[in-house]
C-alpha cells in the first residue's frame, strides 16, 4: 500500500470547526497522504463539506490547526494558498450569459498579479482544463444553454485551470449522468496517478468511492468513525454504524473492490 | 469591438442632434463653427450652444455615464441583474437631505444643495453597509437592509413635505424629479471629477469583479480578499451615483438598463463592459432628454420622468425574460 508510506500533505490536528457557537466537527485528527485519492463519506449533515472548507482555509478551526506540508495554513496569504489548494464547492451558479471560457479563465486568478497580463501559461492551463473535462467544444457556449452535467464539468474545468497540487471536490459527481460520473472519477484517479495531485472529494456513492479511491474516511456527527483502504473500512458493521443501513459486503471479482448491497427483510 | 464602434458613431449622431434640435434649430455647420471657435459662428448660435445646449448635453452625458457605471457595480456587488444604485440607498439618502435643505432653508444656494445631497447619499449607503455587516457582508442582507432604510428615509422625506411650506415642497419635488435644464459648467466640472475617479477605480478592480460575481465562496477559494473588494465596490457605486444625483436629481432606470445593453454587446468581462456601459448610459440620458424636450413641447418633461417612461417597459421585459429563461 504505497499511500500508507506517503507523507501527509494535509492534516488536521485536534481541530474543532464550526460556525459561531455551533461546532460541526470536534477534535478531529485527519491526515491526507500526498498523491492519493481520499473520499469523505457520511450521512447528510455529518460535517463533510465543513471539513473540506476548513482544509481549503475558508473557515478557521476554533481549536487545533490545519496543516499543509507541515505548515499551518493560516500562515499563508490567501492567494498563495489558492496556488496550492483548489476547492470546488457545491451548488455553484454562474450568471446567465457568461460563457464556459469566461468561467474557466477565473481559475487563473491566484496566479495573476493586479496588473499582470494574461500569459501563455494561463492559456495553456485553460486549454488543458477544457480538454481533460471534455468541455473544449463548449468553450464559447453561454451558461444558460448548458445542461446540468455540462455546467458541472465547466466548474470542474475552472478548478483544474487553477493547477493546484491539492484538489478538494465537494460532490463533484452530483448532476452528472453515470458516464460522466465515471469520467470524473477516472479523471480524479488519473490526476493522482500521473501528476501526483492529492484529491479529497465528498461522494455519496459508497461503491464508486470503493472502486476509485485509495482512502475512505467515514464521518458521523462531526467525528471520524473509520478511515483506511476501502477493503478495511467498508464492513457491514461500520456501514451500519455510520449510515444505519444493513448491508452485505460482496467483493468485485476482478478488482477485489468491496461492494455494499442493502439487506431487505424477507417479508418486505 | 464592432459594436463599440457602432455605439460610438451612434453617440456622435445623438450628441449632434441634441445640440441642433430645440426651440431654435441650429445648423450642423453653425454647431461645428461654434465648437471650433471659428469666426463663421453667429452670435445667437454661440449663445445657444455654448451657454445652454452644450452644458446640458455634456452634463446629461456625464450623469448617464455615472449612473450606468454605478449600476454595473451594483449589479455585480449585489449579484442581481435587477439591482440598481437606488438599492444601496443613494437615492433615498440624497432625497431626504435635499428635502430637508429645501424645506428648511427655502432657497438654498445650488452648490450647497448638491453637496448636501451628495453627503446624504454617501451617509445612507454607508449606513446600509455598516448595518448589514454581521461578521462579513452578504448581498441579500445588503438588499434587505437597503430596502428597509430607504423606505424609512422616504417616510422621513414625506413627513417633512407634509408639514413644509407648499412652495418649498414644490421646489424640492421638481429638483428631485431629475432634470438637467439648469446645467452649469461648474456642475460639469464637479461631476466630471467624481466620474473620473469612479471609472478609474472601476477599471482597476474590473478583474476582481469578474471573479466576485461567481459567488463569495468561489472567489475566496481563488484567494480573493472578498470583503475588501466588496467594500471598494460599494464606495465606488455610492460616489458615482451620489455625484450623479447631486448634479441632476433622481434619474431612474439608467443604472439598470445600461449594464444590460453592455452585456448584450460585449459579454460579461467587466473590463470590456465598463466603457460600453458608461457610453450607453450617457447616450440614454442625452437621448431621453432630447425626447423629453422635443416630443412634448411646449411643456418639456424632466429627463428623469422620460427615462422612467422608457425604462419601465424594459424592466418588465427583463422580468419576463427571466421568468421564461
**Complex ipTM above 0.90?**
no
Kindly report which listed range (A29-43, A170-184, A249-263, B78-92) carries the lowest average pLDDT score: B78-92
In this prediction, residues A88-107 reach a mean pLDDT of: 89
Residue A128 C-alpha, separation from nearest chain B C-alpha, in angstroms: 19
Q: Does the beta-carbon distance from A107 to B223 stay under 8 Å?
A: no
Identify the pLDDT of residue A2.
47
* Spatial separation of the C-alpha atoms in residues A91 and A175, rounded to whole Å: 10
* pLDDT score, position A1: 44
CATH class assigned to B59-323? mainly alpha
Average pLDDT over residues A102-123: 91
Q: For residue B100, what are the contacts with CB-CB under 8 A and spacing of at least 6?
A: B160
DSSP string, B111-125: HHHHHHHHHHHHHHH
How would residue B322 be classed by pLDDT, with cut points 50, 70 and 90?
A: low
Q: Count of CB atoms within 10 A of residue A171's CB?
A: 18
What is the per-residue pLDDT across B287-321, written as a single tens digit (0 to 9) for each? 999 988 888 777 778 888 888 887 778 777 777 77
Average pLDDT over residues A29-38: 94
CA angle B302/B307/B309 to nearest 5° reads 95
For residue A42, the SS3 value is coil
Q: B212 to chain A: nearest residue by CA? A: A106
Between chain A and chain B, how many beta carbons pairs sit less than 8 Å apart?
64
CATH for the stretch A8-93+164-262: 3.40.50.300
CA distances in angstroms from A258 to A163, A255, B155, B254, listed in the order given = 32, 9, 68, 62
Would you place residue A90 in the very low, low, confident or very high pLDDT band (cuts 50, 70, 90)? confident
The Cα–Cα gap between B322 and B325 comes to 5
DSSP three-state, residue A117 = coil
Distance CA B165, CA B269 (A): 50
The whole-angstrom distance between A268's CA and the closest CA on chain B is: 45
Least confident range from A86-90, B14-18, B102-106, B265-269: namely B102-106
DSSP state of B298: T
How large is the average pLDDT for residues B53-66? 94
Residue B78 to residue B125: CA distance in whole angstroms: 13
Q: Which set of grid coordinates corresponds to residue B291? A: 425626447
pLDDT (mean) for B204-223: 93
pLDDT in tens, A51-63: 999 999 999 999 9
The average pLDDT across B114-126 equals 88
**Residue B325 and residue A144 in contact, taking contact as beta carbons nearer than 8 Å:** yes
Chain A residue with minimal CA distance to B321?
Answer: A96
A4: nearest Cα among A227, A251, A211, A200: A227
Closest Cβ–Cβ partner in B204, B225, B268 for A78: B225
3-state secondary structure B161-174: HHHCCHHHHHHHHH
Question: Which sign, positive or negative, has the C-alpha torsion B268, B271, B275, B278?
Answer: positive
A56 vs B: CB within 8 A: yes
DSSP string, B148-197: HHHHHHHHHHHHHHHHS-HHHHHHHHHHHT---TT--HHHHHHHHHHHHH
B172 touches B156 (CB < 8 A): no
Model confidence at A3: pLDDT above 60: no
Query: Where does residue B253 fall: left (phi above 0), alpha (psi -120 to 50 degrees), or beta otherwise?
Result: left
Cell of B81: 441583474
Comparing CA positions, the residue from B99, B126, B123, B98 lying closest to residue B112 is: B98
Q: Does residue A139 sit at the B interface (CB-CB below 8 Å)?
A: no
Query: Could you say which of B215, B218, B269 has the minimum Cβ distance to residue A102?
Result: B269
Tens digit of each residue's pLDDT (9 = 90 or more) over B148-173: 998 999 899 888 888 888 888 888 88
Give the Cα separation of B113 and B103 in Å (integer): 11
Cα(B16)–Cα(A9) distance, integer angstroms: 66
The residue of chain B with its CA nearest to that of A162 is B222
Three-state DSSP at A72 gives strand
What is the predicted pLDDT for the residue at A62?
A: 93
- Using the predicted structure, report yes or no on whether residue B145 has a pLDDT greater than 60: yes
Across chain A, what does the average pLDDT equal?
91
Q: Do B267 and A97 touch (CB under 8 A)?
A: yes
Q: State how far Cα B271 lies from the chain centre.
A: 19
Q: Which pLDDT band holds residue A6 (cuts at 50, 70, 90)?
A: low
CB contact under 8 A, B214 and A92: yes
Residues of chain B that touch chain A, judged by Cβ-Cβ distance less than 8 Å: 79, 81, 204, 207, 210-211, 213-215, 217-218, 220-225, 263, 267-269, 325
Domain range list for chain A: 8-93+164-262
Contact between A82 and B222 using a beta-carbon 8 Å cutoff: yes
Cα–Cα distance, B61 to B280 (Å, whole number):
9
The pLDDT value recorded for residue A104 is 96
**To the nearest 10°, the Cα dihedral for A114, A119, A125, A131?**
130
| pLDDT on residue B252 | 81
pLDDT tier, A268 (very low <50, low <70, confident <90, very high otherwise): low
The band of B254, judged by pLDDT with boundaries at 50, 70 and 90, is very high
CA distance B128 to B147: 9
pLDDT tens for A209-234 read 999 999 999 999 999 999 999 999 99
Q: B84: which residues sit within 8 A by CB, 6+ positions away? A: B71, B74, B75, B253, B255, B256
For residue A176, what are the CA distances in angstroms to A91, A172, A182?
13, 8, 9
- Give contacts of A 98-127 with B, CB under 8 A: 98-99, 102-103, 106-107, 109-110, 112, 114
Mean pLDDT of B12-23: 89
Chain B residues with beta carbon closer than 8 angstroms to that of A81 = 223
pLDDT digits (tens, 9 = 90+) for B60-100: 999 999 999 999 999 999 988 888 888 888 888 988 988 88
d(CA A25, CA A52): 11
Q: Helices marked H in chain A — which ranges?
A: 2-5, 48-55, 78-84, 100-105, 120-132, 148-161, 178-195, 206-212, 230-233, 236-243
Cα→Cα distances A27→A75, B39, B221, Å: 21, 86, 24
Phi/psi at A173 (5° precision): -95, -5
Of A78, A102, A144, the CB nearest to B325: A144
Amino acid at each position: 500500500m504505497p499511500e500508507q508510506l506517503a507523507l501527509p500533505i494535509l492534516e488536521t490536528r485536534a481541530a474543532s470547526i464550526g460556525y459561531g457557537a455551533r461546532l460541526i466537527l470536534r477534535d478531529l485528527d485527519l491526515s491526507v497522504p500526498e498523491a492519493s485519492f481520499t473520499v469523505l463519506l457520511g450521512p447528510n449533515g455529518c460535517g463533510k463539506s465543513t471539513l473540506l472548507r476548513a482544509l481549503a482555509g475558508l473557515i478557521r478551526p476554533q481549536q487545533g490547526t490545519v496543516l499543509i506540508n507541515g505548515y499551518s495554513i493560516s500562515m499563508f496569504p490567501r492567494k498563495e494558498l489558492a496556488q496550492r489548494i483548489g476547492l470546488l464547492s457545491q451548488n455553484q451558479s454562474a450568471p446567465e450569459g457568461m460563457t464556459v471560457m469566461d468561467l474557466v479563465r477565473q481559475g487563473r486568478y491566484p496566479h495573476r498579479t493586479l496588473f499582470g497580463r494574461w500569459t501563455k501559461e494561463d492559456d495553456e492551463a485553460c486549454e488543458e482544463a477544457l480538454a481533460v473535462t471534455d468541455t473544449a467544444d463548449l468553450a464559447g457556449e453561454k451558461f444558460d444553454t448548458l445542461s446540468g452535467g455540462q455546467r458541472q464539468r465547466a466548474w470542474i474545468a475552472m478548478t483544474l485551470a487553477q493547477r493546484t497540487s491539492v484538489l478538494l471536490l465537494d460532490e463533484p459527481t452530483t448532476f452528472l449522468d453515470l458516464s460522466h460520473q465515471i469520467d470524473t472519477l477516472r479523471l480524479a484517479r488519473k490526476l493522482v496517478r500521473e501528476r501526483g495531485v492529492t484529491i479529497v472529494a465528498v461522494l455519496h456513492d459508497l461503491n464508486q468511492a470503493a472502486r476509485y479511491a485509495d482512502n475512505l474516511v467515514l464521518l458521523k456527527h462531526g467525528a471520524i468513525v473509520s478511515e483506511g483502504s476501502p477493503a478495511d473500512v467498508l464492513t457491514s458493521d461500520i456501514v451500519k454504524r455510520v449510515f444505519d443501513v444493513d448491508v452485505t459486503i460482496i467483493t468485485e471479482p476482478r478488482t477485489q473492490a468491496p461492494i455494499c448491497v442493502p439487506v431487505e427483510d424477507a417479508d418486505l | 469591438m464592432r459594436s463599440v464602434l457602432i455605439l460610438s458613431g451612434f453617440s456622435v449622431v445623438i450628441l449632434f442632434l441634441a445640440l441642433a434640435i430645440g426651440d431654435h434649430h441650429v445648423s450642423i455647420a453653425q454647431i461645428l463653427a461654434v465648437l471650433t471657435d471659428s469666426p463663421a459662428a453667429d452670435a445667437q448660435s454661440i449663445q445657444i450652444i455654448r451657454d445652454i445646449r452644450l452644458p446640458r448635453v455634456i452634463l446629461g452625458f456625464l450623469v448617464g455615464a455615472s449612473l450606468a457605471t454605478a449600476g454595473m457595480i451594483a449589479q455585480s456587488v449585489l449579484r442581481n441583474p435587477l439591482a440598481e444604485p437606488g438599492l444601496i440607498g443613494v437615492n433615498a439618502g440624497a432625497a431626504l437631505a435635499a428635502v430637508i435643505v429645501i424645506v428648511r432653508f427655502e432657497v438654498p444656494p445650488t452648490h450647497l444643495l448638491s453637496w448636501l445631497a451628495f453627503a446624504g447619499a454617501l451617509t445612507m449607503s454607508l449606513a446600509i453597509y455598516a448595518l448589514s455587516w454581521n461578521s462579513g457582508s452578504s448581498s441579500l442582507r445588503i438588499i434587505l437592509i437597503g430596502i428597509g432604510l430607504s423606505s424609512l428615509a422616504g417616510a422621513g422625506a414625506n413627513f417633512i413635505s407634509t408639514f413644509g411650506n407648499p412652495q418649498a415642497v414644490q421646489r424640492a419635488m421638481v429638483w428631485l424629479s431629475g432634470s438637467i435644464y439648469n446645467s452649469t459648467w461648474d456642475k460639469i466640472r464637479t461631476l466630471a471629477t467624481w466620474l473620473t475617479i469612479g471609472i478609474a477605480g472601476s477599471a482597476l478592480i474590473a478583474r476582481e469583479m469578474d471573479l466576485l460575481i461567481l459567488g463569495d465562496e468561489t472567489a475566496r477559494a481563488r484567494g480573493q480578499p472578498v470583503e475588501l473588494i466588496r467594500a471598494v465596490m460599494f464606495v465606488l457605486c455610492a460616489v458615482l451615483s451620489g455625484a450623479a444625483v447631486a448634479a441632476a436629481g433622481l434619474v431612474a432606470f439608467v443604472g439598470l438598463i445600461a449594464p444590460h445593453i453592455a452585456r448584450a454587446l460585449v459579454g460579461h468581462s467587466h473590463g470590456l463592459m465598463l466603457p460600453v456601459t458608461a457610453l450607453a448610459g450617457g447616450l440614454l440620458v442625452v437621448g431621453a432628454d432630447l425626447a423629453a424636450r422635443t416630443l412634448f413641447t411646449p411643456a418639456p418633461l424632466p429627463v428623469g420622468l422620460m427615462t422612467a417612461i422608457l425604462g419601465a417597459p424594459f424592466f418588465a421585459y427583463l422580468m419576463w425574460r427571466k421568468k421564461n429563461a
